[in-house]
Amino acid sequence: MSNVLGLKRLQELIQGTCSLSEEPLWLLGLWYGLHDTATGTDSLPAEMQQLLLEDFSSKFWFTYRKEFPPLGPPVLSSDVGWGCTIRSGQMMMAEVNSLAQVQRPMYLMCCFGLLDASLSYLWSQWVVPGQWLGPWVLCKALAAAAAAHQQQAQQQQQQQQQPQPQPLGLQVHVACDPGGGAPALQFNRLKELLSGHHSSAVAGAGGQQEACSSSSSSSDEEGQQQAQQQPGLLLLVPLTLGVGRVDERYLPQLAAVLTFPQSVGIVGGRPGASLYFLGAQGSSVLYLDPHEVQEVVELPDGAATYHCSTPRLMPLTSIDPSLAIGFYCSSASECQAVKAADGALQPGALQPGLLISYKKDDKHILALVEAPDGKKNWWIKDQRGRRFSLPARTVSLVLPGSNYQPADVQRFAEAAAAADLSLLEIAWAVAAEEVRSYSLQEMAKLLYDEDAALSQYITFSMLLHDAIYFKQAYKGGVWSFEPRDAEAVEAAQAAAAAEAAAAAERAAFLEAWSVARTAATKERPSSTTAVQQAWKSGPHAERLASLMPDVAAGLLVEAGLLRRHDPLPLLRTGRSISEFDPSLEAAAEVLLSAPPPDPDASTRMDLTHLTVYTVDDASTTEVDDGLSITTNEAGATLLWVHVADPTRWLTPGDMLDVEARTRSRSLYFPWGAVPMFPRSLAEGPFSLGSSSSSSSTSGSHHQQQQQECCAFSVCASLNDDGSLGELVSLGPSTIVVQHRLTYDEVDADLGLGPGMCRHEQLQAIYEAARLRRAWRVSRGCIDIDLPEAQLKVEPDQLDAVRPAVSCTKLSQWESAARLMVAEMMILAGEAVGSLGAAHDLPLPYRGQEAPQLPPQEALDALPEGRAKAMLCAGGRWLPCMTRSVIETSPVRHASLALGAYVQVTSPIRRYSDILAHFNLKAHLRGEALPFSAAAISAITAAAGESARELGRAENDVTKYWAAEYLRQHREQSWTGCVLGWFRPEMQLAAVTLQELGLESIVKVEFPVLPGDRLLLRLADVDVSSGYYRLYVQERAASPGSSAAAEQLSEDLDAQAGDQEGPEGEGELEDELQDEVERALLSLEGELEQELQQQGTSAAEFDEDSDALSVTSEAAGGEDAAALKPSSSSSLAWRAVAANCITGSPA
């Protein structure tokens, strides 16, 4: 019995299933189904199935034949094994004949003449008997046959000297690009082909046009009569919709093609086996199979062998990507309908009656498409019955099927809400046996053993809510899901359990608080010390501690438990601003007093003979990197990057490693840094050459004493064009830092020029960095020039009533030293990435997709000036920047213009660099890697969440001190430069305070243009929330808009360098994405208060704000620029995005 079932299953896999489901079915533009208005469901009842089978059985079925008159050479009497595509084409042509009533000779030629030796000359150019052909060649062959027939008919008309031209027969047009690109349908040309008196053409060999002219001397009336007599136009569209299998973006649209009345089917199939598709049911297609072998029969006796009574279905996902779509048009109006079908073939294309899911506020919402609204928007109705216009770009999923009704939206939503999420664990257990990406259709089959539209949506909803079993990816309009490894699932389950426990504790606390609040006074926690202690040491102790800074900050300051300006946002995250846990400090002391054995002692390179330079800000205490330069025996320049080596002291999973993993990175604030490691380590043995130093007599310059330290060194050469040459050396090393310099010192030295500077080796490194940068620019690297407000306050001022805080505008791109260091760090990252790619190492590779650039006319329409300069960095469009990602295999980094890139140069302050060091050193030792690809993914994902939370805290602190600085300078006026309109209908413009580098929004009640100057003054400030509002005193004096724009461009050009916060680490590989997210969060709060001043709710603004959605989606990746922008730097992006969308008011 099992063998029988196995054979049946094998047959279904090969031939498809012959059992129709109860879903409605489309058969060449006809809908077979019944809609129940009471339940809002569609079905295919038995009586409708019978009508469907009758229609299906009436279609012509052409299969392999044997014992027909010989064809050749070679001499063949059967088409078995090579004629299936021709047979599929015959079936399509037979359907065309039934619609067009083509003259019988043309009909016979197209349907039977393919294998007729007397007509074989028509096919000699395209079809060789005995050779299999694909859909594209079939289309060309059909076009050639039609052209030959028309030429024959025209010659006969000319020979017979007929006074009025007669219809020449069916027109066949192949839509394809001669260069192999996507077909471009020129519908004006198709309409000409449909008319009888214009020059007609069909696609000939190589995509060339073979024209045959008919008389154009007829009157208009005669032309109309002739057009009515024409048998019509067959439009053939050969396509390749993917590699190996059809790209999933096209599957819904491919099924939708079969719903058009003009459709005559699809010639496609499985790889190497042609089929004729003529219907669609759910996510499956109905087909006729030409592979059954039959003998040649005489008509009409053998007519029954040309019809099939058994319908077969196969999944859309099983279709070979090479196929040809056919449309038959008998009039210009039908040609217009085909034009709509052409739009339906675009990925994510919409049409009325589709069910879609769109993304809003990180939620995916189900809706019904009702009608187009202009060129880019669609009217939709969501599950709450609300009707509104939706940009097509926000659609995240198009479900298969069509002709959905409003009731279906509610039905699908309710089914998804009732789904059993525990099924995901079962699906994960099955999918984990073969770790790969699964499509949504495959996941639906895995969960529900079918991929109907309802099952797909329920599956989609379940997977969006899943944070344990499957990873999600949405790329190019296609969802994919990959099972996590067992280790990651176990960690996620533990996190979910902890979250559930926290939720239970929170509920219990609220219950206890409610009871205490309503209790008698003597029974409340504040009544006795014993009751207070019971609360503080009981199950709610931790929650009380976390609430105290928020609820009673003033009382805590009075009690001396907090300083006046301690960062409450940071304290809420549980991160101390100075202290580490005593156990961690003790572990650090153990390392200092008894260093562990060096696992790389036998292979550590002795590089103490090299001259090593470190270049940092004067206040830097954690020295991450140093530079050297040498030449090899051939005289070629070798560049060395020496990186701090904390992994010499750490072991994966030890106490300090786990703490660093939890912290994810060091934090930087106006008063100083909060390190990732205890300071005794971060500023001690982890730091390059930090054990002793003495001040020199030259300003802030420090001359490092000759102290050996452990490092991880990368040595590489450059090619003549600046590209990475040979990776000469990479691994643990011992170095001596001879020169510890500041950026200012190096800038001054390099400014003297070659032959004059004190450090000729730094001059050589700088020249190599310039060559390197020129190469990256030629490859399209993207630099984002943003100003930054640098806020500074001394730590001892955190408890002052009026703390001394400074705010200066930092010029980023004028520093040769910062450019030099940045390019060398990027070079090291590329070298490590190339090594990892060559050896297939799992490392935290940084990547970023190329920006999706808008039309050039949109850029040209933007006014010249600072707004345009900030938006267009090197010819790029900043709001179209894509988010950076961390993958465990090489991925292109478009902003850096690199094919593979790994951050390795900041291991003291960034944990992802630690991961890379651990795996690289294990690989060099020939040992098993401590971190698998799955482990790296899990760690970086968790670190990303932590980094975002800490980033928000950093941003809140920055806003606090910006507000405090402005509060202290309330009476001062500031010159503001207009960046652009933020919300022109509300008279809100984005401005930058030129003296400070701060950016904000102000209300401007008169026309302004980007680059105009305004005199601004503080109107309102709330330091505790970081809120401040400026108002316009008057328009500032300006030398003229053109001169202003020119000056602003010069200001931007003068910005140079990089800063990783106050420590100024000088790397282009900064965490820009997190900063952008924090800037957007800052703006939301600022804008909400601004709008409240004008009586408008932020919720109403966000509901229809295109500017917000454009900017938040377009924010660039964290490696897209060299600098760390200020908290409000995203205002420029939002302003220009708003200008592009709404236009500046005149």
Reported as a single tens digit per residue, the pLDDT across 185-213 is 555 666 566 554 333 333 333 333 333 32
3-state secondary structure 736-804: EEEEEEEHHHHHHHHCCCCCCCCCHHHHHHHHHHHHHHHHHHHCCCCCCCCCEEEEEECHHHCCCCCCC
In angstroms, how far is CA 604 from the centroid of its own chain?
Answer: 41
DSSP one-letter code for 588: H
User: Which residues does 210 contact at the CB level (< 8 Å), separation at least 6?
Assistant: 147, 201, 202, 203, 204
Q: d(Cα 616, Cα 817) in Å, to the nearest integer? A: 9
pLDDT tens, 485-503? 998 899 888 888 888 888 8
SS3 974: strand
Q: d(Cα 989, Cα 981) in Å, to the nearest integer? A: 4
pLDDT at 745 over 50: yes
Looking at 391-395, 399-403, 619-623, 878-882, which range is the least confident one?
A: 878-882
Name the average pLDDT for the chain. Answer: 75
Q: d(Cα 1146, Cα 1142) in Å, to the nearest integer? A: 12
- Hey, which residues does 788 pair with through a beta bridge? 810
Return the higher-pLDDT residue of 579 and 335.
335
Provide the residue ranges of all domains of the chain, joining segments of one domain with +.
Answer: 64-157+168-215+222-344, 355-414, 419-483, 595-759
Q: d(Cα 1039, Cα 693) in Å, to the nearest integer? A: 51
DSSP one-letter code for 910: B
**What would the mean pLDDT of 107-119 be, rounded to a whole number?**
39
Return the higher-pLDDT residue of 287 and 83.
287
Under the banding of pLDDT at 50, 70 and 90, the label for residue 82 is confident
Choose among 447, 433, 444: nearest CA to 483: 433
SS3 213: coil
Looking at 221-235, 428-442, 918-932, 963-977, which range is the least confident one?
A: 221-235
Confidence (pLDDT) at 769: 94
CATH says 355-414 is which class?
A: mainly beta
Q: d(Cα 53, Cα 310) in Å, to the nearest integer? A: 8
Pairing mode of beta strands 788-793, 470-475:
unpaired
pLDDT tens, 129-168? 788 888 888 888 888 877 777 777 777 777 776 555 454 4
- Amino acid identity, position 567: P
Looking at 141-155, 163-177, 1035-1049, which range is the least confident one?
A: 1035-1049
pLDDT at 965 over 90: yes
852: number of Cβ within 10 Å? 12
